[in-house]
Amino acid sequence: MAPRDAEAVLAAGWPEQALYDAVAVAALYNFMNRLVEGLGIRAEADYFAAAGRRLHESGYAAMIAMLGLAR
């Protein structure tokens, strides 16, 4: 992401908080995917089902809050 990308988001009318949230979610999932793949972590299907339900019910904002990243 470059400054011009942020400028385009803000120029389109999105609030700064939306930009912050989008960057935080993308960075978090980039990190987690690299960590999980790099360490060879595997999970059973029931874990993924539970994680999907949690995401559906609470969204990404809940995870950001859980990690203490909410502003």
C-alpha–C-alpha distance, residues 63 and 29, integer Å:
11
Coil, strand or helix at 9: helix
Please state the separation of Cα 58 from the chain's center in Å.
Answer: 12
C-alpha–C-alpha distance, residues 46 and 24, integer Å:
27
pTM exceeding the 0.85 threshold for the entire prediction:
no
CB count within 10 Å of CB 71 equals 8
Q: Give me 69's structure tokens.
A: 């990243």
Q: Which stretches of the chain are DSSP H helices? A: 3-11, 16-39, 45-66
Give pLDDT tens digits for 10-67.
999 999 999 998 998 899 889 989 999 999 999 999 998 998 998 899 887 777 787 8
